Amino acid sequence: MSRAAEVIIHLSAIKKNLNVAKLAAPNASAYAIIKADGYGHGILSTAYALRYADGFGVASIDEAIQLRAANIHKPILLLEGVFDKSELVEALQHNLEIVIHHKWQIDALQELAIKLNNNGSTNKQTKFNIWLKLDTGMNRLGFSPKDIYSAWNSLKNLPVVQSIKLMTHLANADNTADNCTEDQLIRFESATQNINTLKSIANSAGVLAWPQTHADIIRPGIMLYGASPIIKTSASDFELTPAMTLRTKLISVKELKKGSPVGYGGDWVAPNDTKLGVAAIGYGDGYPRHAHSGTPVLVGGKRTQIVGRVSMDMVCVDLGKLPDAKIGDDVVLWGEGLPVEEVAQHAGTISYELFCGITKRVRRIEQQ
């Protein structure tokens, strides 16, 4: 028999969560962000569940080509643009939209424009829809406010450019008490006020907590998978439905004497006589090794907690308060009935990382 660890993907939840985003920003269009294999939910099934989005955002041309090969004809945006000038031609062939965040990418476009001109081809398939990226304070990708206008001008006159949108990315929108988002917005508006085009600012946190960032196009990611993007809140606060349930089964249940150490290093010592369960899941499946004793789990639908260090294939759970628990009982690590945000917090990480970390050996089950 194979291992019991499995991940359930609730496709209807993803579809519903897109609707939550659209209702929150009714005047904007929505590019659904499905990078990193749809945040670990499976890129193709996620794209299908999100078929009412206006477009998709991915992190690499490989992901985009995978979508095109599956007959997805919607706009697809490469969120970091091309990584190499050779990818530009490929991006054109697959009709991909590209972010331009750095001067070398403009130079590469100019070079391509000259090349295509020499070939005498100027039809529509040789033109890009571009998202010009402004750095408004995250200091990661993008042109500085002082350079944005000249970047816009050099792109505008290129024969390979069909349209140019403007975008920026929010650094601290998950914290509603932080002024950074407002500062970024002010910088964005002042740097782009003389440029009349479509604008895009909001990630999930912007969509849900900062209506002034909605602009023309929103770019929701994590909220589509049913996790809250805002710190100290849960998905249910925003009527989001968890789209991933990670679960397994108990493979051992036994009595444990007070004072017995549990697991590698004996980090946790039973404070009383208790019952100990072993669940067939570990960091080899993507359950975080940093989840410490006290991280919540559901056994047979009832809440308890893990104890001791997480092993590669197993984790121990305290069954002291669940006297009826038995071998074969379902154990939910996160998802339905147990918010992933809570688990992430106990593991010193974020829901994004937990979603992306599910490994290949975990059986995937898609449900409508």
The catalytic residues are 35, 264
33 binds ligand PLP (CB under 6 A): yes
Reference 190, options 227, 154, 144, 228; nearest CA is 144
Helix (H) or strand (E) holding 205: helix 204-209
220 binds ligand PLP (CB under 6 A): yes
Tell me, what amino acid is at 189? Answer: E
> Binding ligand PLP by CB under 6 A: which of 219, 247, 249, 309?
219
Decide the pairing of beta strands 296-299 and 302-307.
antiparallel
CB of 100 closer than 8 Å to CB of 150? no
Considering the complex, state which of residue 224 and residue 331 has its C-beta at the smaller distance from ligand PLP: 224
228 binds ligand PLP (CB under 6 A): no
Tokens 């659904």, located at residue: 32
Reference 82, options 66, 116, 58; nearest CA is 58
Residue number, nearest CB to ligand PLP:
221
Considering the complex, state which of residue 206 and residue 320 has its C-beta at the smaller distance from ligand PLP: 206
Q: How many helices (H) and strands (E) does the chain have?
A: 11, 18
As measured in angstroms, the least distance from the Cβ of 151 to ligand PLP is: 17
C-alpha torsion 60→64→69→73, nearest 10: -170
Stretch that binds ligand PLP, among 214-222, 273-281, 282-290, 343-351 (CB under 6 A): 214-222
Q: Looking at 97-238, which runs of residues are DSSP E strands?
A: 97-100, 128-133, 161-167, 199-200, 217-218
Q: Which two tokens stand for residue 64?
A: 């985009």
Considering the complex, state which of residue 87 and residue 330 has its C-beta at the smaller distance from ligand PLP: 87
Considering the complex, state which of residue 145 and residue 300 has its C-beta at the smaller distance from ligand PLP: 145
Stretch that binds ligand PLP, among 105-113, 179-187, 213-221, 334-342 (CB under 6 A): 213-221
222 binds ligand PLP (CB under 6 A): yes
Considering the complex, state which of residue 42 and residue 221 has its C-beta at the smaller distance from ligand PLP: 221
15 binds ligand PLP (CB under 6 A): no
As measured in angstroms, the least distance from the Cβ of 200 to ligand PLP is: 8
> Binding ligand PLP by CB under 6 A: which of 79, 82, 276, 281?
79
Distance CA 329, CA 352 (A): 28
Distance CA 229, CA 326 (A): 36
Number of Cβ atoms within 10 Å of the Cβ of 19? 12
101 binds ligand PLP (CB under 6 A): no
Considering the complex, state which of residue 222 and residue 262 has its C-beta at the smaller distance from ligand PLP: 222
As measured in angstroms, the least distance from the Cβ of 114 to ligand PLP is: 29
As measured in angstroms, the least distance from the Cβ of 224 to ligand PLP is: 8
Q: Which two tokens stand for residue 191?
A: 């740097």
229 binds ligand PLP (CB under 6 A): yes
32 binds ligand PLP (CB under 6 A): no
DSSP for residue 292: P
x/- map, 39-68, ligand PLP, by CB under 6 A: ------------------------------
CB of 266 closer than 8 Å to CB of 316? no
Distance CA 113, CA 158 (A): 7
As measured in angstroms, the least distance from the Cβ of 173 to ligand PLP is: 8
x/- map, 140-179, ligand PLP, by CB under 6 A: -----------------------------x----------
Distance CA 225, CA 7 (A): 13
Considering the complex, state which of residue 128 and residue 210 has its C-beta at the smaller distance from ligand PLP: 210
Reference 53, options 69, 35, 34; nearest CA is 34
Tokens 């499946």, located at residue: 285
Which residues form the interface with ligand PLP (CB under 6 A)? Answer: 33, 35, 79, 169, 203-205, 219-222, 229
